[in-house]
Structure 1
Amino acid sequence: MERIYINGARMLLRSRYFPKEFRLKAKHKYTAIIGLGGNIGNTARLFDRFLNLILKDRRFAIMQSSPMLVNKAFGYASRDYINAVIILKTSLYAKEILKIMQHFEKRFKRVREFRNSPRTLDLDILYFSAKSYNDNVLTLPHPGANIRPSVFIPLGLMKGV
C-alpha cells in the first residue's frame, strides 16, 4: 500500500549539503529564500552540485538548507519531484538574483517545454527580505509559496525560521 502524506509529500532525503547550517559570516544586507526543485536525473546530486557552486560565489552567503522533500508532481503528472529550500544573504537586488538563478538553471540544462513540465533544476525566489514586488518579470513573495507543501514543509523543518 502506498503512503501519501500532506498533499503528496512522501519522504525526506538527506545529502552532503541538505540539511545543513553554514557558519558563514555575511555582511550582505538582504536575505533571500530560494526554492529548489527537480525531477529529471539524480536530483539530490544536482542540488549538491548547485550548492557547491553557489558556496564559491562571493555574491552569496548560504546560511542554511532544508532537508529534501520527495513529493508527488502537481499540474503535469510525471516522476516525483524533490524540493528543498535554502536561505542566503546577498547584497544583490531580487531581479539580479533572478537572472543568476536562471543562468544556473540553464547551466544544469533546464528546458521550459510547458508549464509545470519535468525539469532538471528549478530555482525560485520565494521570499526576499520581507519585501513585496509584482511585475511581469518577478512576483514576491512567490505565488503559492505559502500554500505549497513543497515549500512550507522544507521551510518548516529549518531551525530558527
Structure 2
Amino acid sequence: MNKVYIGLGSNLNNPLEQLESALKELRDRTDIHNLSVSPFYSSKPVGPQDQPDFVNAVAMFSTTLKPIEILDTLQAIEHSHHRVRERHWGPRTLDLDILLINNDIISLPRLTVPHPYMLERGFVIKPLADITPQMLLSNGKTVEEHLHQINTTDLVCL
C-alpha cells in the first residue's frame, strides 16, 4: 500500500462544494482506503491576484495504485469538475496535487514528488500539519518545524 498526501484547492463555482465533491469521488473508489482530510482554509491566490480567494485542504489516503495511476486518477477527477488550464496559477474549479507518496522521491516528465513548492506554501503546510505534524520529511525536518518557518497569517479556517 502507498500512503499518499494530496493538496486540494478551488476558487471557482462554489469552491467548498468542489472540494467536498472531489473528496466524495475519492471515497467512492474501491482502490482508495482510509481517507482523512484536514480542515478547509481560505487563502489568497498564488500568482495573479485578479481572482477569488482559494479554499484549500490536504487529504491522506492509502492505495495500491502506482504513482502515475494516482496522478491519472486525480486528473480524471479534475476533468470531471471541468478543470481548465488557461493560465499558470490562474483560477480553477479544482486542483488536486500529489504532495507526497510514502517517502519516495519521484522525478518523471509528468510527476515530481515531493511536490516542488509544498514547503513554500502555507495553504499546504498548515493543513498537512493538521493531519500529521510530526511526519518527518525527506529533508530531515518535521511538518510542524516547516509550519513555524512559513507565513500562514492569510489563512482562515472555514
TM-score, structure 1 normalization: 0.79
Amino acid at match of 2:26: I
**Partner Cα distance (2:66, 2:19) in 1:** 23
Name whichever of 98-107 and 62-71 sits farther off. 62-71
Task: Give aligned pairs, total.
Answer: 133
**Partner Cα distance (2:127, 2:14) in 1:** 19
Amino acid at match of 1:157: D
* Larger helix fraction of residues: 2
Conserved in 2, the CA contact under 8 Å of 1:59 and 1:90?
A: yes
Equivalences for 1:5-16 in 2 at 5 Å?
Answer: none
Deviation at 1:135, TM superposition (A): 2.1
**Partner Cα distance (2:34, 2:17) in 1:** 18
* Partner SS state of residue 44, structure 1: helix
Conserved in 2, the CA contact under 8 Å of 1:62 and 1:86?
A: no
Of residues 127, 141, 146 in structure 1, which corresponds to 2:100? 127
Amino acid at match of 1:117: G
TM-score, structure 2 normalization: 0.80
In structure 1, the partner of 2:138 is none
**Partner Cα distance (1:62, 1:111) in 2:** 29
Moved over 3 A (4+): none
The CA deviation string for residues 10-34 of structure 1, in whole angstroms up to 9 with x for no partner, is xxxxxxxxxxxxxxxxxxx110001
Alignment gaps of 5+ in structure 2: 136-158
Conserved in 1, the CA contact under 8 Å of 2:35 and 2:59?
A: yes
Amino acid at match of 1:119: R
**Partner Cα distance (2:126, 2:94) in 1:** 19
**Partner Cα distance (2:93, 2:40) in 1:** 15
Conserved in 1, the CA contact under 8 Å of 2:27 and 2:35?
A: no
Amino acid at match of 2:97: D
* Partner SS state of residue 146, structure 1: helix
Deviation at 1:159, TM superposition (A): 5.3
* Partner SS state of residue 128, structure 2: helix
Over the aligned positions, Cα root-mean-square deviation in angstroms equals 1.2
* Partner SS state of residue 120, structure 2: coil
Alignment gaps of 5+ in structure 1: 1-28
**Partner Cα distance (2:66, 2:132) in 1:** 25
Deviation at 1:54, TM superposition (A): 1.4
**Partner Cα distance (1:122, 1:63) in 2:** 18
Deviation at 1:158, TM superposition (A): 2.0
Of residues 40, 56, 71 in structure 1, which corresponds to 2:12? 40
The CA deviation string for residues 94-129 of structure 1, in whole angstroms up to 9 with x for no partner, is 111001110100100000001101000000000001
